Each structure stands twice: as C-alpha cells, then as structure tokens.
C-alpha cells in the first residue's frame, strides 16, 4: 500500500523532532556562554568595601567644580577638563575606557595623546557601534 505510515516513519519523525530541539538548545547554550555574563563586578563583597571610598572621591571631585567635556573630533574621542573658572586642568595622564554594557569582550582602553589646548585625543578610532 502506498502512503502507509510505518514504524520506520515514526522513528524518523521522532528523531527529526528531538534532533531539532537538541540542535536549538545547543545553539542557545553556545550563545549564552559567549555573550554577556551578566556580572557587573567580579566580587560584590570586595566592591561593597570600596563603595564609601568611591563616594568620597566623587564628592571631593565635585567640590572642586571641575567640568569634563567629552566629544568627537574627526571620529576620535576628545576629552577636556576645566575648573570652575573655565581654566583648563591638565592631568598628567588620561586613559579613555569605552565599553558595551552587554558585552565585556568589546571593552577597550583607548590610548591618548595630549594636545596644546590641554585636551586629550584618542590615538585610535573606536570600533563601529560603540
């Protein structure tokens, strides 16, 4: 008889059904392991011990009245720091850290160079999408 559903057809149907489910689960597991971990800090206890110090440093910075300006100059990041009177503040060194909140593999520290006007310019272009 033509078109009869046999045990062999049922076996192949079940193998195909569960094969698709297993394949999708494996793909999702690989994506889960290679994307954002969800961790904001590596050790929350250690981070909590440093919290008050960071708040004190932030308040000390704000009491100085410094103002940071960040912008783009020919697709490169530019950073400038001024005091409350608008005069430039020239730190010895500036590092620019850019990151994606959902994928720490894209986090980068951009090297900078000092310009004559007291600002700092990244020496490399950030990756597209950042």
Per-residue model confidence as pLDDT tens for the chain (130 residues): 578 999 999 999 999 999 999 999 999 999 888 877 777 778 888 888 999 999 998 898 888 888 888 888 777 888 888 888 888 887 777 888 887 776 667 778 888 888 888 788 888 776 666 5
Residue pair 80/100 in contact (Cβ under 8 Å)? The answer is no
Length of the chain as a residue count = 130
Query: Whole-model pTM?
Result: 0.52
């Amino acid at each position: 008889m033509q078109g009869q559903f046999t045990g062999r057809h049922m076996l192949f149907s079940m193998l195909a059904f569960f094969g698709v489910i297993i394949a999708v689960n494996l793909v999702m597991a690989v994506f889960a392991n290679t994307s954002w971990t969800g961790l904001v800090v590596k050790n929350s206890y250690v981070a909590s011990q440093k919290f008050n110090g960071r708040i004190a440093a932030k308040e000390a910075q704000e009491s100085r009245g410094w103002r940071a300006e960040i912008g783009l100059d020919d697709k490169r990041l530019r950073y400038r720091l001024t005091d409350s009177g608008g005069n430039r503040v020239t730190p010895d060194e500036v590092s620019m850290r850019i990151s994606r909140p959902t994928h720490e593999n894209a986090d980068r520290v951009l090297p900078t160079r000092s310009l004559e006007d007291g600002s700092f310019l990244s020496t490399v272009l950030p990756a597209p999408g950042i």
